[in-house]
Amino acid sequence: MTGYEGGGREVRATRDRSTALLTELGGAPLGEAPGSAWAAGRFQAPYLRDSLLDAGVLVETLETATSWSNLMTLYDAVRSALTAALGDQSPAILLCHVSHVYPTGASLYFTVATKQRENPVQQWATVKAQACDAIAAAGGTITHHHGVGRVHRPWLEAEIGPVGVEILRALKQRLDPAGVLNPGVLVP
């Protein structure tokens, strides 16, 4: 299922190129119905997640992105890390889809569902930390569109390097010398 944004001419050209390539690779045009059905149910998923949590199922997501040449390496690394981290947490469901594509690469969006343990917040923190380690080691971005914040901050330096952190600290000092804007949220 694909969707396109932009001006009319740009959308048509991109859609035509994508359709030709996907058809060549074995895809089949299904019309607009699947996309319309997805759009109609797009915002029902968070409510389903809440119901699953209430029923004792841990349901969480994480996302990353990388270049096309690194996409399968990143996918394999994160999938392996999640599988290892979930270990004996059976049954577990691990899904992944490409949520956004660009000329230079794509975003991978993973969904995990498994039985909640005694402390589901710690359970997910442990699993996600192993996945984030794998993302950093495989050259993915620690976040695609969810933001860095407090949760992903421990892996930011692995992505942007010590000079990148130094630049962020200098900007923070220059623009917010009193440290009142989101203290402790981004800068490692």
Residues forming the active site: 109
Residues pairing with 94 in the sheet: 112
What is the CB neighbour count within 10 angstroms for residue 144?
Answer: 18
Report the side by side order of strands in the sheet with 92-101: 57-67, 105-115, 92-101
**Cβ-count burial 157-169 (b if 16+ within 10 Å, e if not):** bebbeeeeeeebe
Q: Give the closest residue to 82 by CA, choosing from 119, 118, 132, 117.
A: 132
Helix (H, G, I), strand (E, B) or coil at 6: coil
What is the CB neighbour count within 10 angstroms for residue 187?
Answer: 20
Its sign, for the CA torsion 124, 143, 1, 39, is: positive
For 87-148, where are the alpha helices, taking DSSP H only? 120-137
